[in-house]
Amino acid sequence: MNAPVPPRQFETPADRYRRVKDPTLEELLHIPGQPKKRIPFLYTLRFLKDPLGYTRANYEAYGSVFRRGDFAGWGVTLIGPEANELVLFNKDRIFSSEQGWNAVLERLFPRGLMLMDDPEHRVHRKTLGVAFKPEPMRHYLGELNDGIARGLAAWPSEISFYPAIKKLTLDLAATSFLGIAWGPEADKINRAFVDMVQAAVGVVRRPIPGTAMWRGVKGREFMCAFFAREIPNRRGREGDDFFTQFCNARDEDGKLLTDQEVIDHMNFLMMAAHDTLTSSLTSTVYYLAKHPEWQEWAREEVKAYGDGPLSYERLGELERVEMCFKEAMRLNAPVPAIPRRAVKEFVFMNHRIPAGTHVGVNPMLTHRLPHIWPDPDRFDPTRFTAENSKGRHKYAWVPFGGGAHMCLGLHFAYMQAKAFFLELLGRYRLSLPDGYQADFQMFPMPKPRDGLPIRLERL
Ligand code: HEM
């Protein structure tokens, strides 16, 4: 069972269109795209087998606007920076984020910030913003530095990187997100949380005993109970973790979030932060291990930084590390596709798209369009120097989205990445086993199927 969802305080534009039906295939037939199949699920299977190749093939066959069959029925994909700007900036308030993401996340992460539309979204985003101000951020950085140094010191010289960074990111979240110490309680929370995240991206959408969704629903019950128990201890107290900050955050009218709102925002925040960081750090490590010349280039800067740990005042430094991180997210966008639902009809590139259509933009393919990114499959961090970025469309690179829903944790993500690489590159030389061929699963989030074997040679 999901925890009860409190009544809404606002009438959102999405509410008004909530009962607009999904358009039928016939209503979308004027848009170029995949023909009807007797078993539409076959499209899903082809997509899952090779998400990038399949999306690229559709783009090449049909152009920047194409109809697609997917998990939930028929929808339309829009490719390119102009599409990203239209949908993410959402100037004409055409798109609902809540109705786009609900299909994937509602059962396990209902009422997270990304699952809200204006005006409700604006109020909540502002209220939560207090936890991303410089003072708490400075504190999180201290926790990150300590945790990273402790975690890395325990890594052996050959590791399966993905599970190792996943565990480290979870442990780091125990202190900076929840304000609890590493240990058995944090381990239990981590397990429940991992079950929720796995269920959210699972194929079976009902909580049938034995399935990931069933474990996810149980995980949610556990997490909700943990937060509900802890909230009274955090109200009215000082604390520099996200959870305590949310418990004491007030909106413009001075009102605190309700217990249920704190629970929903915390569950969502942890999900939004966890797999994205795990995926992006893994991709960066992979490309640096694969390209020793770029690794050395980044290490020169790390050495020039001097003795760590990373200081909050010097976050603007480590520009090369930042460029490597950005380039890895270009090649392996942690959120490969961003869903929305059109709440009114609109026209894009001469295609009329009816109200109710599930619309997706696609950072994964936009980040590899050759007219924007020459030789797009090549890892080259200098694409992100100020000089080389000149004239590039603002929405050509969108790993963090854009517009009102742009990632709220983006500075936290850069901070964790810099703290991590300062320690990692300063301590170890990274390499891959001889003849290693990477095999990244690109959807729902980029992840190496074999865990990514990495050698760490002490410097
Ligand atoms: C490399 C790491 C990360 C990536 C690539 C990433 C990516 C994204 C993207 C693409 C969105 C917007 C989705 C949309 O428009 O539908 C988003 C939203 C969000 N992210 Fe992140 N994220 C990362 C890390 C984090 C972290 C560390 C946190 C928290 C500390 C966080 C918190 C959020 C929140 C709260 C939202 C919802 C914002 C809103 O709807 O107003 N993210 N993220």
Q: From ligand 1's centre to the CA of 445, what distance in Å?
A: 13
Q: If you take atom 37 of ligand 1, which residue's CA is the nearest one?
A: 114
Within 8 A by CB and 6+ apart from 33, the residues are: 58, 62, 66, 67, 68, 76
- Ligand 1 atom, smallest distance to 128 CA: 35
Within 8 A by CB and 6+ apart from 27, the residues are: 354
Per-residue pLDDT at 13: 52
- Ligand 1 atom, smallest distance to 115 CA: 40
The answer to whether the beta carbons of residues 404 and 120 sit under 8 Å apart is: no
Per-residue pLDDT at 12: 55
Looking at residue 405, what DSSP letter applies?
G
Handedness of CA 333, 337, 343, 346 (dihedral sign): positive
Per-residue pLDDT at 3: 45
Q: Is 336 in the pocket of ligand 1 (CB under 6 A)?
A: no
Residues of the chain with pLDDT under 70: 1-19, 38-40, 71-72
Q: From ligand 1's centre to the CA of 59, what distance in Å?
A: 26
Q: Is 412 in the pocket of ligand 1 (CB under 6 A)?
A: yes
Q: From ligand 1's centre to the CA of 128, what distance in Å?
A: 13
Measured CA to CA, the distance from residue 377 to residue 245 in angstroms comes to 41
Looking at residue 350, what DSSP letter applies?
T
Name the token pair of 152.
Answer: 């890395």
- Ligand 1 atom, smallest distance to 116 CA: 40
Per-residue pLDDT at 186: 79
Helices (H), 50-154: 51-62, 81-84, 97-105, 120-128, 134-153
Q: Is 113 in the pocket of ligand 1 (CB under 6 A)?
A: yes
Q: Is 413 in the pocket of ligand 1 (CB under 6 A)?
A: yes
Name the token pair of 184.
Answer: 């058995």
Q: Is 421 in the pocket of ligand 1 (CB under 6 A)?
A: no
Q: From ligand 1's centre to the CA of 374, what distance in Å?
A: 27
Per-residue pLDDT at 240: 87
Helical packing angle, 410-427 and 134-153, nearest 10°: 30
Per-residue pLDDT at 305: 94
Per-residue pLDDT at 185: 80
Q: Is 359 in the pocket of ligand 1 (CB under 6 A)?
A: no
Instruction: Give the mutation target among 98, 116, 257, 407 for probing the ligand 1 site: most ligand atoms within 8 A of CB.
Output: 407
Taking the model in full, what pTM does it have?
A: 0.94
Q: From ligand 1's centre to the CA of 272, what distance in Å?
A: 5
Q: Is 66 in the pocket of ligand 1 (CB under 6 A)?
A: no
Q: If you take atom 27 of ligand 1, which residue's CA is the nearest one?
A: 273
Name the token pair of 456.
Answer: 């760490």
> pLDDT digit string (tens) for 342-387?
999 999 999 999 999 999 999 999 999 999 999 999 999 999 999 9
